[in-house]
Amino acid sequence: MSVVDYAQMAFREGTRALAVEAPVNLVYGSVPHAVMMTTPGDLEDFAYGFSLTEGIVEDASEIRDVQVEEVEDGLRLLVELAPGRLREHLARKRAISGRTGCGVCGIEDLDSLPRAETRQSLSLRVPVASIAKALGALDSAQTLGATTRAVHAAAWALLDGTLLAVREDVGRHNALDKLIGAMMRAGTDPAEGFLVITSRCSFEMVEKTARLGAGMVVAISAPTSLALERANDHGITLCAIARSDSLTVFTGGERLVR
């Protein structure tokens, strides 16, 4: 690898850590379901979070086991579902309708856009100072991001702003799914904190937030118009363009405590 210095027009040899991107095939009951491009870390968490946000399971108890298997061209996630849930999953239409991944690729019509059930705590109240504290701690918590500058992060913060869990991935959707999976496995109550994401907040990220049951998401970048519509529909507080000195509250400002 060569690094070019513009000022001196000089080339010098260098090295750089790169984020790993690999295909991961999720398999339920020996039936392949989807291939996602992910950073191959915290894959058990990813299996849980993906299964929830895709509507394959309703809670962690419906997943019996997750095995990570290396194959020639990537990785395979073998997800063992409870028998009743597996039958329901296999009976679903085989199309990719309802996917909350990037661009919801593969849906057949507009009616197939995913829409989660609203189930977050209406009594959630978050001090503004807690959001500032969480944002301040997030940079140092992104270990992979610090070395590669090529991944997204999703974090869960308690009501006092303490970061309880952080997950990273080359895909912003994957990072959030990994975080959701980690929370499911730990039995974290989504009424006791809020989400922080380093990416833009598109409608899919809001749908994942609603599926988890969280009442607030704070995004470093700006939201989209559909994200605002869905946040209003679900009663989710959406804060974005979050910086060290300010943030913009787009929906649900009544949850913020000054």
Question: pLDDT tens across 107-159, in order?
Answer: 545 455 667 676 667 789 999 999 999 999 999 999 999 999 999 999 999 99
Q: How far apart are the first and last CA of the chain?
A: 50
| Mean pLDDT score across all residues of the chain | 91
Judge whether residue 98 has pLDDT over 60.
no
- Going by C-alpha positions, the residue among 17, 18, 24, 63 that lies closest to residue 43 is 24
Round to whole Å and give the CA distance between 190 and 211.
10
Question: pLDDT tens across 218-251, in order?
Answer: 999 999 999 999 999 999 999 999 998 999 999 9
Q: What is the mean pLDDT of residues 92-97?
A: 51
Q: Reduced to 3 states, what is the DSSP secondary structure of residue 178?
A: helix
Catalytic residue selected from 102, 105, 201, 239: 102
Judge whether residue 97 has pLDDT over 50.
no
Cβ neighbours for 200, distance < 8 A, ≥ 6 positions apart: 172, 219, 221, 222, 223, 224
The number of residues making up the chain comes to 258
Q: Reduced to 3 states, what is the DSSP secondary structure of residue 230?
A: helix
Give the pLDDT of residue 109.
53
pLDDT bucket at 201, cuts 50 / 70 / 90: very high
Question: pLDDT tens across 18-74, in order?
Answer: 999 999 999 999 999 999 999 999 999 999 999 999 999 999 999 999 999 999 999
- Going by C-alpha positions, the residue among 32, 17, 102, 45 that lies closest to residue 71 is 32
CB 170 within 8 A of CB 139: no
Q: Is 239 a catalytic residue?
A: no
Judge whether residue 95 has pLDDT over 50.
no
